[in-house]
Amino acid sequence: MVFRIVYFLKRALRNMWQSPVLSLASIGTVAVALALLAFFTIAVLNVQQLTASWGENLAIVVYLDDVPEEKIVKGWVKDIDSYPEVAEVTFISRDAAFERFRKRLGDDADLVEGLGADVLPASLEITLSDDWRSESALATVVDRLRKDHRFDDLQYGQGWLEKLEAFLLLLRVSGSALGGFLVFAALVIVANTIKLTLYARQDELEAMAMVGGTSLFIKLPYLVEGALQGLLGGFAALALSFLVFQVILQRTLGSLLLITGIDTIHFLPPVWQGMLVLGGSLIGLLGSLFALRKFVRFVAP
């Protein structure tokens, strides 16, 4: 059995060695298609991560024109905290709000020099729990607060979350569509490249059939060859996307990305890297399979 596996592997490697141009064409096709897919995946994953962090900052702010006694405020906090959607309620006093604002100004803090703390209102900051971080949950909490006449000045990401969710959906749908298209294109191109290889070796296939090679015996080296080419294409795609990630995304766009609030952009997680390489191998295998379907028919008319 081991002898057979080694035999087929050797023949596949030998086939590749004997047709270097066609082999490189197959590997290159898989590499380019998967690298494009990898770039897009990197973009989608990073945008998702970014928007998720935006979502984490999502809060409802209840502005309090007149600050009641501490005891009453604590009661309000307790009331709102009892909502199932709410993770945390924080009271921000006028002083705390002013201090926070001054800190945010940084070097320009002297702009507020001479102003009193009473220029900013006190507020209650309400954060939703992870399970309820959605447009509908936000609307429910806001509705409930509006009905309570104690809180009439509310501010929250009106419409923003809805747009964010729509954007994420669009990104996922277009990502899946583009990814599917790229994989399909790679599959077709690899199948055709392998078909060219088979045209070049038609005499070999015929000779194999004439000496009693079974369909599997004839096909297997080409299937292994396709899978190997796909595997190499997958590795090349990984290397290419990592190179582009390092050189272009991180160095060139690094400063630009900081403006949008992204500290670091991330490369594909290890699981995705593995999927990319295995995906390449699968594309190569399926491409060979499609190409071979027609070719070995002369074995038995």
Partner 1 sequence: MIQLFNVCKAYQRGQNALNDVTLKVDKGEFVYLTGPSGAGKSTLLKLLYCAERPTRGQILVNGRNITRYGPSRIPYLRRNLGIIFQDFKLLKRRTVFENVAFPLEVLGRKRFEISKKVYQTLKNVGLEHRLQHHPLQLSGGEQQRVAVARALVVDPLILLADEPTGNLDPEVTLDIMELFKRANARGTTIVMATHDRGLIRQFPRRIVSLDAGSLATDDLPLFRGEAGMSGYSGMTGQP
Binding residues for partner 1, rule: CB under 8 A, are: 3-4, 7, 18, 203-204, 206-215, 217, 298-301
Residue 91, H or E segment = strand 86-92
Comparing CB distances to partner 1, the nearer of 40 and 217 is 217
The residue (of 207 and 239) whose beta carbon lies closer to partner 1 is 207
* Cα 249 versus chain centre, distance: 15
Which residue lies nearer to partner 1 by CB, 148 or 206? Answer: 206
Closer residue to partner 1 (CB): 14 or 150: 14
Residue 153's nearest CA partner among 127, 124, 133 is: 124
Residue 248 CB neighbour total at 10 angstroms: 12
CB 218 to partner 1: min, Å: 9
SS3 string, 197-211, reads HHHHCHHHHHHHHHC
Of 113 and 203, which has the nearer Cβ to partner 1?
Answer: 203
Distance of closest approach, residue 198 Cβ to partner 1, in angstroms: 14
Shortest separation between residue 200's beta carbon and partner 1, angstroms: 10
Q: How far is the CB of 211 from partner 1 (least distance, A)?
A: 4
Spatial neighbors of 41 by CB under 8 A, at least 6 apart, are 175, 179, 268, 272
Long-range contacts of 250-254 (CB under 8 A, 24+ apart): none
Query: At closest approach, how far in Å is the CB of 7 from partner 1?
Result: 7
Instruction: State whether the Cα torsion 178-179-180-186 is positive or negative.
Output: positive
Nearer to partner 1, 5 or 239 (CB): 5
> Which of these, 214, 212, 231, 210, lies nearest to 16 by C-alpha position?
231
d(CA 151, CA 75): 13
Least separation, in Å, of the C-beta of 18 and partner 1?
A: 5
Q: What is the CA radius of gyration of the chain?
A: 31
Angle at 252 between CA 249 and CA 258, to 5 degrees: 80
CA separation, residue 32 to residues 119, 170, 191 (Å) = 58, 24, 15
Least separation in angstroms between CB 16 and partner 1? 12
Q: Which C-beta is closer to partner 1: that of 46 or that of 215?
A: 215
